Homo-oligomer: A and B are copies of this chain.
Amino acid sequence: MKYEMPEINLKALFLGDKGENVDLFKELLLKMVDEHVGWRQNYMPQDLPVITPQDRSSKDFQETADHMRSVFNVLSSKLRTHSLPWHSAGRFWGHMNSETLMPAIIAYTAAMLWNGNNVAYESSPGTSQMEEEVGHEFAALMSYKKGESWGHICADGSIANIEGLWYARNMKSLPLAIKEVAPEFVEGKSEWELLNMSTEEILEILDQIPEQIDEIKTHSARSGKNLQKLGKWLIPQTKHYSWLKAADIIGVGLDCVEQIDVDDNYRMDITKLEEKIRDLAADQIPVLGVVGVIGTTEEGQVDRIDKMVELREKLAKEGIYFYLHVDAAYGGYARSIFLDENNEFIEWDQIDEVYAKHNIFTEKCEWLTRDVYESFKAMSQAETITIDPHKMGYIPYSAGGIVIKDIRMRDVISYFATYVFEKGADIPALLGAYILEGSKAGATAAAVWTAHKVLPLNVTGYGKLIGASIEGAYRFYDFLSNKEFKVGDKTIHVYPLTKPDFNMVDYVFNEEGNTDLEKMNKLNHDFFDQASYVKGGLCNNEFITSHTDFATPDYGNSPLPFVKSLGFSEGEWDREGKVTVLRACALSPYAHDKEVFEEYAVKLEKAIQCKLKTIYNETK
């Protein structure tokens, strides 16, 4: 591509909330269909079409086509009746979804016509190359070393997290296996020491004995042995439920999972993490790994990865080591807002200048703190990172991803099958032997690859889009803060949960003077019902949001400071044991615009007012 990368106008990259870009969409879609058909015609042009004009005129052909047309009428009706208006520029403030990138949709469709299966290079050379390229782009996004790191696309974040835990489990078990197969390399080490070797140390031993790797793997956790020796998997209270599922599936079990309390900002409490690790160490229980979250599912908060890395370095001096996995399913792409056009992590003191140069925000945005900056920066120290293109990559479902810091780890979990394995290629000939899944759509790789080519993973591309979503979130956050509504003689206030670390805004409604937590929870649950499919409808709903419960079994007393700040007593919290929170993922690529937002703000205020009125009338 021999042209200057232009200043990106995000409005050219989406179909548009009213389908404004439908002509551009069809132009590119039909171009790709035509070029595909041209290719079919020109593969062996001497072969005549097998579907003849006579076939196409036949009665059963026509009837079959009409049958198919009828099915499409049903499909279209169902989709239009039962889908959510994510695309809205300013009315959808709910689940983690939005318009997706036009280039990704079209690339997916185009590549689907070729139906590559990226399980094996042989059956999908083009899209396998694209996936490999995407993997290296992910690695660059994380500031992993070029040539020493790797990544790939997977079905979704749950699968990536399972794979991360699989890596951690098998890595952690290797020293025990080395002791069985090549004991001279770990001579004199106690079991405790073996279970606290760093990933780096382990890989360096394996480098010295390549011919024994297969046997060592045979003795590793993949054998089924030693799973219960590997220690605890530490996750924040804010964890996604899939982490429990992952521990179940991987066989280390739920009993090995321990939750670490979060602080007032819903970030893992690093002091508590250190205490926990030391307590375990005192009982000679190792730590299988620690999960830091970049963009918690319910709050969008950012764990202090930098503090986790610091802690790891400190503990290493005392002979304690833990594997670090970052679950950045949600926030992974946001690291692009920290990379300059050369993919270098921007210095703290230059960041405003760079943002100004690349028009990252339209106005001054209160978002970025040093904490968040340092957390993102430290991601480069994690062994594995989950990143979902179908979240902040604005790629259609489903597209997950995982990145590994040290490509040598790949061999620790790999398998082979002869029919798809050819030696000598840079790109895995059989990707399925290195990852959790088998068959996978080449189309997903094409969609992600195309999106990355249109929007590079730095401030010139995705950074702008991420910036737009954050700015939109802050507009919504500012809109809600100190807002009040009158319904009859009641005054209802809105309270955001916390200053957002990213682009999610959690908030609650509460009636003035109410000290009954159950009542507040009911109000917010009722509001959700009105602002969702449950009672509010979809196609005719003027404001849509989502909700969540922070309940003691998961969150312990972490929500207490917030609950108390609203005027509830500790006793109320103990009695109710949960707080129902409304939850807005602000992904719209349009709502950062001041004029757009202000236009919608008036409509949102009315819609909220109307919903509150309905609720109070219903409860009368």
Contacts and interface: CB of A to CB of B under 8 A. Distances in A.
Contacts of A75: 32, 107, 110-111, 446, 449-450, 453
A130 B82 CA distance: 11
A7 B40 contact: no
B64 A162 contact: no
Contact of A130 (B14, B24, B78): B78
A294 interface: no
A227 interface: yes
Contact of A254 (B68, B116, B218, B256): B218
A491 interface: no
Interface string A16-59: 11111110111011111111111111111001111100011010
Contacts of A450: 71-72, 75
A71 B155 contact: no
Given A13-B64, A19-B37, A241-B415, A254 B78 contact: no
A225 B249 contact: no
A61 B546 contact: no
Contacts of A383: none
Interface in A201-254: 218, 221-225, 227-228, 240-242, 244-245, 247-254
Identify which of A8, A228, A437 gathers the most chain B CB atoms within 10 Å of its CB. Answer: A437
Contacts of A166: 248-249
A122 B533 contact: yes
A12 B29 CA distance: 22
Given A100-B115, A422-B534, A76 B251 contact: no
Contacts of A113: 15, 105
A74 interface: yes
A106 to B, nearest CB: 7
B251 A252 contact: yes
A91 interface: yes
A418 B400 CA distance: 23
A439 interface: yes
A218 B247 CA distance: 13
A547 B67 CA distance: 39
Contact of A400 (B84, B436, B439): B439
A22 B40 CA distance: 11
B20 A440 contact: no
A6 B63 contact: yes
A332 interface: no
Given A122-B546, A418-B551, 12 more contacts: A16-B49, A17-B47, A18-B51, A47-B89, A75-B107, A78-B130, A83-B116, A105-B113, A125-B538, A158-B438, A162-B436, A418-B548
